[in-house]
Structure 1
Amino acid sequence: MKAGRQPEATPNFEVSDFGGTGSDFLFDLVKLEGRNELPRAFLHRHSYYHILWMCNAQGRHVLDFDSYEIKPYSVFFISPGQIHGWTSTIDASGYAINFSAEFFLQLFPRAEEPADSPFFHIAHTDPVLYLTPEQHAELFPLLLELEKEFKNQQRWRYDVVRSFLQILLIRLRRLHRPHATESVLPRSYSLTRSFKVLIEDHYLEFGSVQDYASLLFVTDRKLNEAVKATTGRTATQLIHDRVLMEAKRLLAQSELNVAEIAYQLNFDDFAYFCRFFKKNVQLTPSEFKKKFSVAFS
C-alpha cells in the first residue's frame, strides 16, 4: 500500500436531527413510530452515541457489516463512528436515545474501565441485548420516566435525565454477560485505544505494526500484547480490520468499481487486494458489492 489518497465520506450525522443543534446538542429521545425517515436502511455513521430500543420490530440491523436480527425487545448500542443501517418488515415501535460524547463522559467518568461501559467498550463484540418480556416490562417504566422528564423541560431537567439514563444503563449492564477478553487491565486498554486512534488517522499510509509502535513509544511486542489482551486480536488484525471496513463501505455505497476501490485504498496490486479481501471476508469484492449494494440501495 502507498500513501496519498482519501476515500469518499460516509454519510455522517454530526448531531441528532431529532433535537438540539450544533455544539448545544447533549441528549434527545424520540419515538420510532410515525417517522417517515425511519428506519434508515442506508449505511451511515453518527458522531454521538445512539441506542435503538425496539419494543416491536422485525428485521435486520447491520452494524460494522455484521448482521443482527431485530425482534421485539431488542436494544442496540451504537458508538460514535460505527457504520450501521437497519430495516424492519413491520412498522417499528420503540425509541431512539441519542447523547453526545460529553454527556457520555458525565454518565461514566471512568469510561476506560470496561466494566463501567461494556456496551460501548472496544472489546465488546455483542452490541445488542435481547430482553425477555419480563425484563422489558421491568425496565420500560424507566424509559417512560426518562421521556417524561425530557419533554417537561423543567429546570435541571438534564440532571434528572442523566440520572435516569445512568440507572437505565446500569440496569441493562446487570443483564450483560461479559466475555473473558473484556477482563483486561486499564493500562492495556489505554494503549489499545491510542493505537485505534492512530489507525483511524493513518490506516491508508502506515503498513506495519512497527510504524504505530514507534509513534506510541513502545515496542512491537508490547503493543501486540496489549492489543491481544484487550481485544483478543493481534495489532496487525486491527489494522487489517480498518482497511477492510473502508473497503466494505466503498463497495457497498460508492459507484466505484473494484479496481478503483483497490487504488483508492492504496493497493498497488489489484489481484492482491482481491485475495486479501476474500481471505478475510469469505466473499470476493464483487460478490460483497452485489450483496450489500442490493440490500441497502
Structure 2
Amino acid sequence: MSNVDLHEDLKNDERVWMPGEIGKDVQRFNVFHVKHNRDDKFNCKPFNRKALFKISLLKGKTRLYYADKTVDFDCALLFTNPNIPYSWEHLESEQVAYFCVFTEDFFDQFMPIKDYPVFKPGNVPLFHLDEEKFAVFENIFKQMLSEITLEFSYKYDSLRSMVLQLIFSALKLEPATFQPYKDSNGSQRIVSIFTELLERQFPIESTIQRMELRHPTEFASQLSVHVNHLNHALKVVTGKTTSQLVAARIMQEAKSLLQHTDWNISEIAWSLGFDDLPHFINFFKKNQQLTPKLYRKNQPV
C-alpha cells in the first residue's frame, strides 16, 4: 500500500525538532482511511516490512487468503503481524477500509504487543462484524484519524489506548472460521508462503541480526498448519523436507558470510541461530565436509 511508504520516508528523518517522544512515535504509528469505487478497485498483498503490525477494518465483499486456507466476508476486522503471511482481494467494486500500522517498539515501554492472542501465530486473526459492530470499530478509527492531527503532546499515548481498545473489543468477539483453500493447489500455496517466510530472514547484514525461524515446528506455527502437513506439502512439491530446505538455505548464507565478511565464526554461528559454536561447526562440516575455518581459508582472496 502506497500510504505505508510514509514509514520508509520517515526512517531517515530524525525529527529532531519534535518535542519528547513525538519525534519517535511519528515513525512508529500511522492510520489511514481508504474508500474505493469501481474505478480504483484494489487488492492487498502481505507487508514485506518486518517491523509493521497492522489492524484493518474492511467493508465490502472480500476474500482473505491465510496459509492454505481462505475465508470470504462482507465486513470484518483483521489483525496481522510481520511474520504471518496473508493476502486479500476485494470481490466487488465498492469497498471501505481503515488501517492502522505500527511497530513493536511503539508499545515496548508498556507491554509486549505481540503476546496478545490476535497477533500470535496459530490464532485466527479475522473477526466477522455486523453493521452495528462495524460502526463501533469505525468510530475508533475515526477517533484515531482525528487524534493524529492534533497538536497535543500526549496524542500518541492516546492512540496507543485506542489500539488496545481495538484489540480488547475484538477479543470479546468470536473469530472467523477458515475453510481449506480450494481455488488452487493448497500444497503449492503452503510452499510459496514457507519460502517467503524463510527468505525474509536473509540476507544477514549485521552481527546483531539473527534468524528467528529455523525449526519445522516454528514455520508450521507461523503458517497455522500441523508440522506433518507442512512436511507433506513441501515433500510433494519440492521432494525435500522442511529441515532439508532450511538447512540448505542456512548453508548458502553461511558460505556467503564466511567468504564475504570478516566476522568471526562465532558471530556467524549466532546470526544463523546456533546457540553454541560446536553445533554450528558440526552442522557445517556435515553439509560441506569441511569446517567453517577451512572453508574460509580455501576461498580465493
TM-score under structure 2 normalisation?
0.50
- Name the structure 2 match of 1:140: 138
State the Cα deviation string for residues 130-186 of structure 1 (Å, max 9, x = none).
11222223333222212211122422221111111112211111224699xxxxxxx
1:93 offset after TM fit, Å? 1.0
1:65 offset after TM fit, Å? 4.6
Task: Report the count of equivalent residues.
Answer: 196
Unaligned stretches of 5+ in structure 1? 1-12, 180-195, 204-214, 217-222, 248-260, 268-297
1:102 offset after TM fit, Å? 1.5
Distance in 2, Cα, partners of 1:233 & 1:200: 16
Q: Structure 1 pair 102/59, CA: closer, same or farther in 2 (3 Å)?
A: same
1:30 offset after TM fit, Å? 0.6
1:103 offset after TM fit, Å? 2.0
1:20-39 correspondence to structure 2 within 5 Å: 21-22=10-11, 25-33=27-35, 39=42
For the pair shown, the structure with the greater C-alpha radius of gyration is 2
1:106 offset after TM fit, Å? 4.9
Distance in 2, Cα, partners of 1:110 & 1:161: 14
- Name the structure 1 match of 2:120: 121
Distance in 2, Cα, partners of 1:105 & 1:239: 35
Unaligned stretches of 5+ in structure 2? 13-23, 178-193, 202-213, 246-301
Q: Structure 1 pair 61/159, CA: closer, same or farther in 2 (3 Å)?
A: same
SS state of the match for residue 58, structure 1?
strand
Work out the percentage of aligned pairs sharing the same amino acid: 14
SS state of the match for residue 152, structure 1?
coil
Is the contact between residue 128 and residue 175 of structure 2 (CA under 8 Å) also seen in structure 1?
A: no
Letter aligned with residue 119 of structure 2: F
1:169 aligns with 2:167: yes
Q: 35, 59, 65: which is aligned to 2:62?
A: 59
Distance in 2, Cα, partners of 1:39 & 1:163: 30
| Cα RMSD after superposing both structures | 4.6
State the Cα deviation string for residues 270-289 of structure 1 (Å, max 9, x = none).
xxxxxxxxxxxxxxxxxxxx
Letter aligned with residue 30 of structure 1: F
Distance in 2, Cα, partners of 1:31 & 1:144: 9
State the Cα deviation string for residues 44-73 of structure 1 (Å, max 9, x = none).
53421112201x3123222335322131x3
Distance in 1, Cα, partners of 2:66 & 2:113: 25
Q: 149, 158, 161: which is aligned to 1:160?
A: 158
Distance in 1, Cα, partners of 2:223 & 2:64: 23
Distance in 2, Cα, partners of 1:66 & 1:178: 12
- Name the structure 2 match of 1:16: 4
Distance in 1, Cα, partners of 2:101 & 2:224: 29
- Name the structure 2 match of 1:69: 72
Q: Structure 1 pair 230/68, CA: closer, same or farther in 2 (3 Å)?
A: closer
Identify the structure with bigger relative contact order (alpha carbons < 8 Å, sequence gap 6+): 1
Q: Structure 1 pair 105/177, CA: closer, same or farther in 2 (3 Å)?
A: farther
Letter aligned with residue 96 of structure 2: S
Q: 91, 95, 99: which is aligned to 2:98?
A: 95
Is the contact between residue 47 and residue 82 of structure 2 (CA under 8 Å) also seen in structure 1?
A: no
Distance in 2, Cα, partners of 1:168 & 1:45: 23
